[in-house]
Structure 1
Amino acid sequence: MLIQKIHHVAYRCKDAKETVEWYVKHLDMKFVLAIAENEVPSTKQPDPYMHVFLDAGQGNILAFFELPNSPEMGRDTNTPAWVQHLALQVDSMDTLLATKARLEAAGIKVIGPTNHTIFHSIYFFDPNGHRLELACNTGTPKMMQLLDEVKWDMLNEWAATRKAPQHARWMHDGSYQED
């Protein structure tokens, strides 16, 4: 089996209409589809829902479920809020910075930009409490080659020690120099 692409990624939302309007307004996504049922098609369980789909660009679809009969949304309290997030790519640093300014002007708290050397990111939360990251790629082919060369060594060292391997420390310590 070879996966062709991600068809869609789905999250839960508190209010489908508010969520669609937020993503359209703040991230320029297009609202492409709404599906509503009183019964879950796969399980036949009675559970009314609204399932909305947004175009995140280039065939990537972000979807949400509003579940009015389920307990209030929560999150895994054992996982830090910064871990579980959705990262979306933008085309340039200009777009990243302009989006940050637009989000902040709308009263949305934004962290960053954070320099990860191969990309720069900003972080913020949607109205459902989902953490979002906007990332602009800045890596060179040489940087990507260096990371590719050490990925298995890093993973194997992590698996053995559960300590952060230092093979790519240059990504965050500022020591990288392009030849």
Structure 2
Amino acid sequence: MTAHPVKHPVSLGGIHHAAYRCKDAKETVEWYGRVLGMDYTTAFAEDHVPSTGAYDPYMHVFLDAGNGNVLAFFELPHQKDMGRDENTPAWVQHLAFKVASEEELLAAKAHVEAQGIEVLGPTHHGIFKSIYFFDPNGHRVELAADIGTDEQYAELKRVAPMMLDEWSQTKKAPRHADWLHQIAREQNGIEAN
């Protein structure tokens, strides 16, 4: 007798929006429109926070990131100046957007650089290539183009549980996907250790 899978009580339909803080809502909307072609779709502004009732005037702006995804920002003029988590390296927290191909990634790099923005990459990650730069709020932005095969993605999914278990026990990089690291090293011109 086989058990029927139990349906999870939460059925997600994707990310409604991801929200970050910005220094200036207008500047942020204009930057994301000019640099990444994102349409400004919606704004909410309140003097009191609906969920807490606290007085804290804000502007909440929403941008279309494509494919039904929405990126939002809060400008909070009565709060302390925004900073960042100094205990987390600047490369860790970032916004990553997908582009359709490696050619589009290179065209995007040329466009972003033409805006006077310093761009790092492309960096080869084995199954995708990325470029990186910062928005006017100090948020790191990544554009990524998938280049892996269906077989590579399937293999990464297969070894993911083993990698997580090993990481949880050792806190050292598991080597279940060494082939991926070798591809990235070769493409990035880094000698194998």
Tell me whether the two structures share a fold, i.e. TM-score over 0.5: yes
Give the total of aligned pairs. 176
Aligned twin of 1:97: 106
Aligned twin of 1:122: 131
Aligned twin of 1:174: 183
User: Which residue of 17, 20, 24 corresponds with 1:11?
Assistant: 20
Change (3 A) 1:175 1:31: closer
Distance 2:157 2:73 in 1: 34
Distance 2:183 2:12 in 1: 36
8 A contact 2:42–2:61 mirrored in 1: yes
SS at match of 2:28: helix
Distance 1:174 1:41 in 2: 49
Distance 2:147 2:60 in 1: 35
Distance 1:64 1:30 in 2: 14
1:50 maps to a residue whose letter is M
Give the CA deviation at 1:172: 2.4
2:146 maps to a residue whose letter is N
Change (3 A) 1:175 1:125: closer
Aligned twin of 1:60: 69
Aligned twin of 2:191: none
Superposed structure 1 runs of 4+ greater than 6 Å apart: none
Spell out the pairing of 1:63-74 with structure 2 (5 A cutoff).
63-74=72-83
Spell out the pairing of 1:35-54 with structure 2 (5 A cutoff).
35-54=44-63
8 A contact 1:48–1:68 mirrored in 2: yes
Aligned twin of 1:30: 39
8 A contact 1:110–1:123 mirrored in 2: yes
SS at match of 1:86: strand
CA deviation vs aligned residue, 1:123-152 (integer Å, no higher than 9, x gap): 111000001110001110110121112111
Distance 2:183 2:52 in 1: 51
Give the CA deviation at 1:175: 8.3
Give the CA deviation at 1:174: 2.2
Give the CA deviation at 1:95: 1.1
Q: Percent of aligned pairs with the same residue?
A: 61
Aligned twin of 1:156: 165
Aligned-residue RMSD, C-alpha: 1.2
Aligned twin of 2:189: none
CA deviation vs aligned residue, 1:9-56 (integer Å, no higher than 9, x gap): 000000000000000000000000011111101100001000000000
1:86 maps to a residue whose letter is L
2:152 maps to a residue whose letter is M
Distance 1:11 1:148 in 2: 29
TM-score (normalizing by structure 1): 0.96
**Structure 2: stretches of 5+ with no match in the other structure:** 1-9, 186-193
8 A contact 1:115–1:172 mirrored in 2: no
